[in-house]
Structure 1
């Protein structure tokens, strides 16, 4: 069951109230999960039960995605906005320096939270920000095409495609190496999340100027990359290791860009090992 919390955040443009929807399960040290662009907190469902056996897991819908409302007018969907938003979210929940895990956009946010010393450990799954210009242009073109397809398809077509393995592959093979493992309901839900993501365009625009070039000192970091990531190519993981030399670089065989569905056990193991 999701909960939505509202809180005030101070920005250079003044104080603004931001609302964030999240789901919380389990007991233990707090562990925050951040999804990628166009997705929602349900991306973590394949690993949620495993993680909740050892951690107080908080799966977040980022502002403008999933069940979370858009950011207030005048706020950009960039790191300078999202880091204080997430820091204030932690404070509102009474969570002090949680472990944080992020995928894609969420991985970039997790690393920036680590750089700001707002979290205890970072696990980044195919994080954004370690691309070349051409790689970023390719990834953004794919994301725009996915968004356009989701917007153009009527709901009956989405539901019909989701009922078959071939249809689920057509809808989600860009981000999953094993799209047939997704349930029809999950595929419908995430396709709807992509088409209804109010923060999609602004987040993509903010990403045009983002390259992660700073180390994350004094915070344990694991960076994991799927061997079959078709969106952010796996060679970017080597670049990430060069930028963050103290990070542990983990390969996830037979996993795509969103690896939690392709191999839940392997992904949960990386997360729990890092947070220990």
Structure 2
């Protein structure tokens, strides 16, 4: 008899139920005196992508995963084409609401651009910055024509809707070896995007230039990526690691773009030294 794969989203709900405020929705679990871990998802995902990180780290510290503006129950930003600093400012509004003065900030894919923008706005609030499978951005000037890859993303969400887009794109985020429950979670997250919020995020991707955002950022950090990533391939991730002065670059073999979801144990082991270094510096 065929059995349905385990429901990772149900497991996450048991650990970190979805919470909602006036402006944001987010997941949160854990407590204690250690510096909180804050997780920013990618363009086709949501706060539910971090189930493996809640399971690994919520027993030792507070863990917070937002739904970015325009995702889940989070209110979209007012601008049709918001810039990275708009998302960075939004993050600090949520952190103020949650009373989190400082954090270890992890951004995955487009979330890496948002995280870096937040670090530029308030570097003293970021104890360490981890960029996972970072999106570089296209550095499109305001008013310029969008590259074909960006235009295709916008047409996909408008013409196909979230379900159709997930059918076309979701499995590019994982390898062929990904477990059925992982594939189901990744597809469900993409199928749940808000079209307007997703289009805002696509326009952010078009306008952003992550190496330029990293210029002048001086924080403990790491850039980490999957060796089989076809969305932000290893060569581009290595360039980001070179642009992030002082950061360690780590490639995890055998994993794709959504590797924190596909291979949570490997991802958690990779970033744990960053967390440990922050804890030692603060006497925890």
What TM-score, normalized to structure 2? Answer: 0.76
* Corresponding position: 1:175 with 2:173: yes
Unaligned runs of 5+ in 2: 1-16, 141-145, 277-284
Query: Are the equivalent residues in 1 in contact too, given 2:85–2:118 (CA < 8 A)?
Result: no
Hey, what's the Cα distance between the residues in 1 that align with 2:247 and 2:191?
A: 35
* Corresponding position: 1:77 with 2:82: yes
State the Cα deviation string for residues 245-269 of structure 1 (Å, max 9, x = none): 2011010111111111221111112
CA root-mean-square deviation: 2.9
* Corresponding position: 1:151 with 2:161: yes
* Corresponding position: 1:121 with 2:137: no
- Larger CA deviation: 251-260 vs 123-132: 123-132
> Judging changes above 3 Å, is the alpha-carbon distance between structure 1 residues 207 and 249 closer, same or farther for their aligned structure 2 residues?
same
Hey, what's the Cα distance between the residues in 1 that align with 2:160 and 2:63?
A: 30
Q: Describe the SS at the equivalent of 1:199.
A: helix
1:245 equivalent in structure 2: 245
> Judging changes above 3 Å, is the alpha-carbon distance between structure 1 residues 179 and 64 closer, same or farther for their aligned structure 2 residues?
farther
Hey, what's the Cα distance between the residues in 1 that align with 2:162 and 2:240?
A: 35
* Corresponding position: 1:20 with 2:24: yes
Query: Are the equivalent residues in 2 in contact too, given 1:228–1:255 (CA < 8 A)?
Result: yes
> Judging changes above 3 Å, is the alpha-carbon distance between structure 1 residues 247 and 152 closer, same or farther for their aligned structure 2 residues?
closer
Hey, what's the Cα distance between the residues in 2 that align with 1:172 and 1:149?
A: 16
Unaligned runs of 5+ in 1: 7-18, 162-169
1:186 equivalent in structure 2: 185
Higher fraction of helix = 2
Q: Pick from 56, 66, 77 the counterpart of residue 72 of structure 2.
A: 66
For these two proteins, the number of residue pairs brought into alignment is: 248
What TM-score, normalized to structure 1? Answer: 0.78
The equivalences for 1:226-237 within 5 A come to 226-237=226-237
